[in-house]
Amino acid sequence: MSSSRHLVVADDDTDFLRLMTFHLDRWGYRSSIASDKPSLLVLLEQEKPDLVLMDVRFGEYDGLELLGWLRSHRPELGVVMLTAFGSIDSAVSSIQNGAIDYITKPIDLNRLRLTISHALDASAQRPQDQIRAFVQTPSTERPLSRPIVGESRAMVELRSLIDRVAPTDATILIQAESGTGKELVARALHERSQRDKGPFVPLNVASLPRDLAESALFGHEKGAFTGADRVQRGCCEVANRGTLFLDEIGEMDPAIQAKLLRFLQERTVQRIGQSDPISVDVRVVAATHRDLRAMVATGQFREDLYYRLNVVPVAIPPLRDRPEDIELLANSFLKSAASRYGRTLDGFSREAIEAMRCFPWPGNVRQLENLIERVAILCVGPLVELSDLVPEIQGASTQSTINSKVSDEFGFSESPELRPIDRMERDAIEQALRSSNGKVSEAARSLGLSQATIYRKIKKFSIHG
């Protein structure tokens, strides 16, 4: 990749800037950083970057306002917005206001790299070429898929459900929060199906510019519009005899929803400018972090399309609901990151593990993975300590300790229904007892509690076996 492509990262998080420049440099880009609006404007006066990656919440400034300024003063400059979990609506607004794409934090590195490549192409391309950037031609070399890690009951049930429905051709709707691994599950469904030799074609619906969505999905003929100088197959056609994965289906424009419904009913594709439809054999797996039932009730999503997609619903549990999987996931990510960066890391201290168990993980598994990558780069090692984790996770550990001491001292909970902290305590004790084959003394030692406390908790939470 040419080092002449210059990227600017605008964000007020210095650790995030450091990690971004590390990866951008590793991928062969030239990178600059701006931690506030004045430094960004000075940098843009001095340099002519190819792309700006800018946070929606840029310190005291509104990134969307800066986006408007950039679109009016530097219209040739491509902008990709960065947004934290829970700010998807702002990110979609940024697309409508001229951004090429957006990426949610915690950053998925594979998506970041692909988005940058698409954005650099799109900022200098004709509509024909922009569409081609979204329609990924399947590679003949099959990538090694990552395993779905977790031994909690929810994850065991998820893997069992995948094994049962994968061999069928049923349409699947994956409903889960951002960062839980929706594409990972979609790939597992494809690879365990009879279509595994065919293409797996992912398309992020939210990142599609409205005026290109129909062509990206269904293709177009030569001359169908200005700049269409050749025939372009859409994703529905490219996925023939394979699987089409439509991520963030809840962001689809209503006009395109109607066309997708027709495709699901008839299994035919009609390119823009084409008179005769083409029959295709495609399995559709859709995914969303939004509540489609609520969107149907408010008229934002077609009811008939919802039922066409929701033949087999698949739910991925958020990480906060399966804290017993955190140690397994963290060690897996640490081993992988240590190998990539040439580090010798032996694992985590018990305090670090307990702190990660207590944190609610709003960004889910992706957030955990990015934290571990940061730790693998920055920690002194060889053992990852509590002090190596980011402050908000250290703070979660402190609050958990306070709650635990109060509960131990007075021996009551606020209501018959377990509070989140109580659920985490119960899960931790159950896991410790399983690991020690029911030996209370060993379970107490592993948790750093007294045997009397463990017995009191067993009674309190009605733990059996």
Distances (CA, A) of 348 to 345, 393, 398: 9, 14, 17
CA distance 283 to 286: 10
Of 76-85, 296-305, 452-461, the range with the lowest mean pLDDT is 452-461
- The reported pTM is 0.65
Handedness of CA 41, 44, 45, 46 (dihedral sign): positive
Tokens of 47: 């340099």
Assigned CATH topology for domain 320-460:
Helicase, Ruva Protein; domain 3 (1.10.8)
What are the residue ranges of CATH 3.40.50.2300 in the chain? 6-124
Start-to-end CA span in the chain (Å) = 58
> Residues 121-149, buried b or exposed e (16+ Cβ, 10 A)?
ebbeeebbebbbbbbbeeeeeeeeeeebe
pLDDT tens readout for residues 276-319 = 899 999 999 999 999 999 999 999 999 999 999 999 999 999 99
Tokens of 84: 């934290």
Q: Does residue 2 sit in helix, strand or coil?
A: coil
Could you tell me whether strands 278-279 and 268-269 are parallel, antiparallel, or unpaired per DSSP bridges? antiparallel
The CATH homologous superfamily of the domain defined by 153-317: P-loop containing nucleotide triphosphate hydrolases (3.40.50.300)
pLDDT at site 90: 61
CA distance 9 to 15: 12
The DSSP code sequence of 234-296 is: -HHHHTTTEEEEEETGGG--HHHHHHHHHHHHH-EE--BT-SS-EE--EEEEEEESS-HHHHH
According to DSSP, the residues that pair with 243 across neighbouring strands are 200, 283
Contact assessment for residue 106 and residue 367, using Cβ atoms and an 8 Å cutoff: yes
For residue 82, the Cα-to-chain-centroid distance in whole angstroms is: 13
According to DSSP, the residues that pair with 32 across neighbouring strands are 8
| Neighbour-count burial of 90, counting CB atoms closer than 10 A to its CB (0-12 exposed, 13-18 middle, 19+ buried) | middle
pLDDT at site 1: 42
What single DSSP character describes residue 121?
H
For residue 270, the Cα-to-chain-centroid distance in whole angstroms is: 31
Contact assessment for residue 104 and residue 124, using Cβ atoms and an 8 Å cutoff: no
Q: Does residue 219 sit in helix, strand or coil?
A: strand
What are the residue ranges of CATH 1.10.8.60 in the chain? 320-460
> Is 257 a residue whose pLDDT tops 90?
yes
Tell me the mean pLDDT in the region 225-244: 84
Q: What percent of the chain has pLDDT over 70?
A: 81
What are the residue ranges of CATH 3.40.50.300 in the chain? 153-317
Most confident residue range from 38-47, 51-60, 219-228, 357-366: 357-366
The CATH homologous superfamily of the domain defined by 6-124: Response regulator (3.40.50.2300)
CA distance 349 to 382: 10
pLDDT tens readout for residues 356-414 = 999 989 889 988 998 998 899 888 879 999 999 988 888 766 555 544 444 444 343 33
For residue 164, the Cα-to-chain-centroid distance in whole angstroms is: 25
Q: Does residue 365 sit in helix, strand or coil?
A: helix
| Neighbour-count burial of 186, counting CB atoms closer than 10 A to its CB (0-12 exposed, 13-18 middle, 19+ buried) | buried
For residue 406, the Cα-to-chain-centroid distance in whole angstroms is: 36
What is the amino acid identity at position 86?
Answer: G
For the CA atoms of 88, 91, 97, 99, the dihedral, rounded to the nearest 10 degrees, stands at -150
pLDDT at site 274: 83
CA distance 131 to 93: 21
pLDDT tens readout for residues 34-50 = 988 888 888 888 888 88
pLDDT tens readout for residues 151-206 = 999 999 999 999 999 999 999 999 999 889 999 999 999 999 999 999 999 988 88
What is the amino acid identity at position 233?
Answer: R
